Amino acid sequence: MVYLDHAATTPVRPEVVRDMTEEFGHLGNASSLHGAGRRARRAVEEAREAVAVALGATPNEVVFTSGGTEADNLAVKGLYWARNGADPARRRLLVGAVEHHAVLDPARWMADHQGALYEELPVDRLGRVRPAALRAAIERDPGSVAVVSVMWANNEVGTVQPVAELAAVAAEYGIPFHTDAVQAVGAEPVDFAASGVSALTVSGHKLGGPVGAGALLLARGVDPVPVLHGGGQEREVRSGTLMTPLLRGFATAVRMAVAERTAHSAALAALRDDLVAEVRAAVPDIALNGDPVHRLPGNAHISFPGCEGDALLMLLDAKGIECSTGSACSAGVARASHVLLAMGADPETARGSLRFSLGRGSTADDVKALGEAIAPAVARARAARGRRR
């Protein structure tokens, strides 16, 4: 198997498995006051501190969640409710047009069910939200904007956004700025305090950690209305029994990913460039999507003219090469990528693209295997498409 879908999920690190296995051997609810509970609470708070140190935050700014989707929902819905509750005129949700559906869908739901005004911030042909575009959107009616959400790095095409600049624009108007940094942590230098953002989402399984653990970082004074109600375990913002073993593993993954980032990103970028070169040599008319400079080091999102992406994916899968047509959360849905459409691509191009994402464990042999398999797969995909026409 050649696994080229690390943007969807990553192998769990052995160190993470070790820490979680040890923690699963202990009994105790972190909310209990007895000895077992205090021991579990200590493990949780040590995990919180590790995540905070790695991401440039303070421990009381880290709210643990079950992952990226919950954190994004808490940010979008909770911050909207908090802002709109304080001033009903604040009804506008400004969201990047290329966001993950974990942001897009909650924002659209708020428009359909909560009276919000949903607005997408346009992107250029590289997938970037320009600070001028955000400023123009805000200035149409500054007092009506409840929340701005723009992801740190795009999960499909790999474009890295000018997050600090965008957050600074929002701050000028006193508007909270949320960023989904799920793809960025461990690949880009992510510093919560230095970025100036109000809220930041991170997820464990994109970093060599477990599925089911993540966090929403909230700056001091940024208090969303809870989405989940119950015990109020996390700052009265997020209720639910704390998953101590997963949180310990999550913290280990974050700490290691951030510590290894510089060398790892450089190696991935070189391997990614080799991958693009191999594919282009085999299929000369491909197009690389996304920002050629400001992009994730392990991401290569490529359009193959005359192909259906789903068909090409299955042909490669039959050869033991696993990749994606885009977001794994949208897999199995035959529709053009909303990311490429927002970037100005035509629907045919948007349907004929694949994402190859490298990570720990990716090798030059993986790239070579793709280079050998891609031309025959493209030829078959084009022939099949021609027959259907």
Tell me the C-alpha distance between 123 and 339, whole Å.
Answer: 9
Task: Give the SS3 label for residue 190.
Answer: coil
Edge-to-edge strand ranges of the sheet holding 145-149: 62-65, 214-218, 199-203, 177-180, 145-149, 92-96, 117-121
Structure tokens at 364: 């030059």
Q: Which residues pair with 214 in a beta bridge?
A: 65, 203
Non-local CB neighbours of 182 within 8 Å, separated by 6+ positions: 68, 100, 151, 155, 201, 202, 203, 206, 214
Q: What is the DSSP string of 301-315?
A: EEE-TT--HHHHHHH
Integer Cα distance of 281 and 304 in angstroms: 13
Three-class secondary structure of residue 85 per DSSP = helix
- Sign of the CA dihedral with 354 first, then 356, 357, and 360 last: positive
The answer to whether the Cα torsion of 298, 299, 302, 307 is positive or negative is: positive
Q: Which two tokens stand for residue 72?
A: 């994004």
**Active site residues per annotation:** 329
Please say whether the beta carbons of 388 and 36 come within 8 A. no
Rounded alpha-carbon distances, angstroms, from residue 248 to 19, 24, 64: 7, 10, 11
Alpha-carbon dihedral angle through residues 135, 73, 8, 48, given to the nearest 10 degrees: 100
